[in-house]
């Protein structure tokens, strides 16, 4: 149901020839005004296709908006609040990656898209949780430096016969780390008929205890196509908002009610309205960093086709 602020945003969007992109973890009221909702990979692909818009409002965290900028250096990419950072992305500073590359000169380098642009520029390729295994298969190296998410790295290592070296040694998402194997056991007792799905950012013990492990976009598609009725969702809480609005008739339960990404919730309708009015705050990167990281982003997009 729309409110007057949402109506004002719709009007401004038309006047400014703007598009609103939003991640699946955005709160309901932002999901409702988005032109496109998706996981990190879907947002990257959408960002690579924006030809006819003058302004992009990105409701997600910093690395996502930066990736949109890398793919559209001539467009205005605006994030409603610059404070919306992903702490995991900042766990791999450029110098730590360069040290690891020096120590393993023959290894390939795959960075999770949840990384800062200064690190991305030194990667052979990037991945998201939706394509990590496919991307790791696509490069010729048998040894891979993988960061910053240790759990996604372990997920890849389980599926492929390649050596995965995590950089840094304990990069993780604080939201998914809140989920424990005891939560899985508890939900199995509470909802014996439900399928339990978690995100690969969860610890390996949790991944092994669940029935399926997939990206947020993967969860949406999987549930839409499934004959099953009940699901326990092991990721950020607003993923349930997205699935509920698009796949009616399913019973969805959170694996952990407290799995909330605080920085994703910093965007509000007021801030989106102000971002449209002021066309600020803008996301940008030094030309050289954007140019160098573009190669890794494009490699990932080609490898995921
Ligand atoms: P997805 O690409 O699966 O949406 O994951 C992004 C993310 O940040 C999960 O915490
Ligand atoms: Fe980053 Fe975790 Fe939030 Fe995803 S849920 S944006 S990995 S802090």
Specify the pLDDT at position 3. 85
Q: CB of 128 closer than 6 A to ligand 1?
A: yes
Q: How many CA within 13 A on the CB side of residue 164?
A: 25
Domains (ranges, CATH) in the chain?
4-84+264-284 (3.40.50.10800), 89-173+289-303 (3.40.50.10800), 179-254 (3.40.50.10800)
pLDDT tens for 244-258 read: 999 999 999 999 999
Percent of the chain, pLDDT > 70?
A: 99
Per-residue pLDDT for 213 more than 80?
A: yes
Residue 57 has a CB neighbour count (10 Å cut-off) of: 30
Per-residue pLDDT for 272 more than 90?
A: yes
Q: How many CA within 13 A on the CB side of residue 145?
A: 23
Segment 152-172 shows an average pLDDT of 98
Beta bridge partners of 77: 56
Specify the pLDDT at position 176. 98
Specify the pLDDT at position 271. 98
Mean pLDDT of the chain: 97
**Atom nearest to 173 CA in ligand 1:** 10
Pocket lined around ligand 2, Cβ cut-off 6 Å: 61, 86-88, 114, 173, 175, 201, 236, 261, 264
Ligand whose nearest atom lies closest to the CA of 174: 2
Per-residue pLDDT for 1 more than 60?
A: no
Distance 22 CA to ligand 2 centre (A): 14
As a whole number of angstroms, the distance between CA 117 and CA 292 comes to 9
pLDDT tens for 13-52 read: 999 999 999 999 999 999 999 999 999 999 999 999 998 9
Per-residue pLDDT for 2 more than 80?
A: no
């Amino acid at each position: 149901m729309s409110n007057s602020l949402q109506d004002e945003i719709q009007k401004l969007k038309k006047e400014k020839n703007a598009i609103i992109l939003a991640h699946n973890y955005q709160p309901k009221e932002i999901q409702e005004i988005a032109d496109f909702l998706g996981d990190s990979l879907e947002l990257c692909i959408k960002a690579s296709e924006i030809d006819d818009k003058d302004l992009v409002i990105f409701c997600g965290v910093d690395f996502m908006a930066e990736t949109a900028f890398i793919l559209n250096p001539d467009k205005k990419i605006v994030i409603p609040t610059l404070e919306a950072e992903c702490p995991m992305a900042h766990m791999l500073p450029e110098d730590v990656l360069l040290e690891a590359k020096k120590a393993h000169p023959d290894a390939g380098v795959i960075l999770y898209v949840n990384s800062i642009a200064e690190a991305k520029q030194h990667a052979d390729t990037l991945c998201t949780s939706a394509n990590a295994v496919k991307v790791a298969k696509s490069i010729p190296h048998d040894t891979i430096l993988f960061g910053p998410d240790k759990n996604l790295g372990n997920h890849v290592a389980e599926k492929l016969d390649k050596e995965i070296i995590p950089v840094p040694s304990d990069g993780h998402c604080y939201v998914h780390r809140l989920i424990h194997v005891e939560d899985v056991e508890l939900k199995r007792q509470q909802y014996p008929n439900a399928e339990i799905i978690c995100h690969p950012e969860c610890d390996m013990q949790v991944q092994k205890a669940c029935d399926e492990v997939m990206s947020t976009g993967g969860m949406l598609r999987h549930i839409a196509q499934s004959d099953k009725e009940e699901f326990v969702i092991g990721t950020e809480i607003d993923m349930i908002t997205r699935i509920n609005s698009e796949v009616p008739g399913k019973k969805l339960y959170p694996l952990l009610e407290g799995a909330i990404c605080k920085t994703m919730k910093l965007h509000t309708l007021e801030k989106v309205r102000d971002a449209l009015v002021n066309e600020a705050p803008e996301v940008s990167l030094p030309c050289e960093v954007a140019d160098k990281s573009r190669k890794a982003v494009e490699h990932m997009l080609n490898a995921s086709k």
